Amino acid sequence: MNLTFLGSGCWQGIPAPFQDDKISKEVKWGSKDFRFRTSLLITTQKGSKILVEATPDIRLQSWKFNLSKPDAILVSHWHWDHLFGLLDIAWFSEKNKVTVYGNSTTKKWYDSRIAHVPVNFITFESYRSFEIDNLKITPLKVNHVDETDGFLFEDKDSGKKFAYLSDLYEIPLETEGLIKGTEAVITDATYLESDISDDSTHLQKNQFNQFLKKIISKEIILTGMTPVFKTLSLNVFGIVWRIIPAAF
Ligand SMILES: [Zn+2]
């Protein structure tokens, strides 16, 4: 199994529109601070390509990383920075229908807003695993908005697992149990540097501290960066975090 980070930016990406913050003003195309919206590409042992999230940057991500048609697109929740990239592949999908996996709320948003994009939509349920090649995929319920999932990926040959929990403010006990012992947890760093009281849908600094105590994983990888983050390291809670350099 191979994992490529196609983006680690928050909903607006970095630079943000109209450069209304310091980092967005300074960031250069191709620099380490340039971040597409959060997305992953998983390549299985047999060569199947699984795209995690259909971001509004999907066109440039597919160009930058030389992607061909993915065998599946997994969508964690209906927010536009995770789902609405499907609009950009409407023309492509008319000729090469893509397969999209999402929960029932995501399906409702697809049906009501973007059903003119022809896809093969498969609805999943939290904690009900499905398989693509030798990869076992378990949707994990997380608390963010409405119905939101993360994913647990398990390579059935090696037994190695990692979790992707992109947007959340806390995790249910069942999810907490399932991500124990993973090689890595990829998770939400949106407000890691500050406590912002008017958005309760993402982990904030105090909640992140609690969240860290629950995660028993070899590595924690941060994603969903806002423009407050600077390039390669960040010192929070006395830990110097490695910020994903492969965002662009
Ligand atoms: Zn979200």
Cα three-residue angle 78-35-97, rounded to 5 degrees: 45
- Banded model confidence at residue 122, pLDDT cuts 50, 70, 90: very high
Q: For residue 245, is pLDDT > 50?
A: no
**Residue 225 pLDDT grade (very low, low, confident, very high; cuts 50, 70, 90):** confident
Other CB atoms within 10 A of residue 151 CB: 22
In the reported structure, the alpha carbon of residue 148 is separated from the centroid of ligand 1 by a whole-number distance in angstroms of: 8
* Alpha-carbon span 179 to 183, nearest angstrom: 9
CA 93–ligand 1 middle distance (angstroms) = 24
Mean pLDDT of 64-81: 96
Ligand 1 centroid to residue 217 C-alpha, Å: 23
Q: Residue with structure tokens 């907490």?
A: 176
**30 C-alpha vs ligand 1 centroid, how far in Å?**
25
Whether the CB-CB separation of 32 and 246 falls below 8 Å is answered with no
* Mean pLDDT on 168-173: 94
Residues in the 5 Å CB sphere of ion ligand 1:
79, 167
Q: Is 158 a residue whose pLDDT tops 80?
A: yes
Q: Which tokens is 178 given?
A: 């399932």
Residue 75: how many other CB atoms lie within 10 Å? 27
Distance between Cα 222 and ligand 1 center (Å): 15
| Distance from the alpha carbon of residue 203 to the mean position of ligand 1, in angstroms | 11
How high is the pLDDT of residue 195? Answer: 65
Whether pTM exceeds 0.85: yes
In sequence order, the β-bridge partners of residue 151 are 139, 164
Count the neighbouring beta carbons within 10 Å of the beta carbon of residue 229: 24
Q: Is the pLDDT score of 239 beyond 70? A: no
Residues 6+ apart with CB under 8 A from 159: none
Output phi, psi for 98, to 5 deg.
-90, 155
CA 46 / ligand 1 centre spacing (Å): 31
Dmax (CA) for the chain in angstroms is 52
Using an 8 Å Cβ cutoff, are 164 and 153 in contact? yes
pLDDT tens-digit map of 80-104: 999 999 999 999 999 999 999 999 9
Structural domains of the chain in order of their starting residue, each with its CATH number: 2-247 (3.60.15.10)
Q: What is the mean pLDDT of the chain?
A: 88
Mean pLDDT of 64-83: 97
Is 50 exceeded by the pLDDT of residue 213?
Answer: yes
Residue 69 pLDDT: 97
Q: Is the pLDDT of residue 232 over 60?
A: no
More confident residue, 10 or 233: 10
CA of 84 to the centre of ligand 1 (A): 12
Predicted local distance difference test score (pLDDT) of residue 209: 77
CA of 157 to the centre of ligand 1 (A): 32
Cα 158 to ligand 1 centre (Å): 31
User: What's the rounded mean pLDDT across residues 56-80?
Assistant: 96
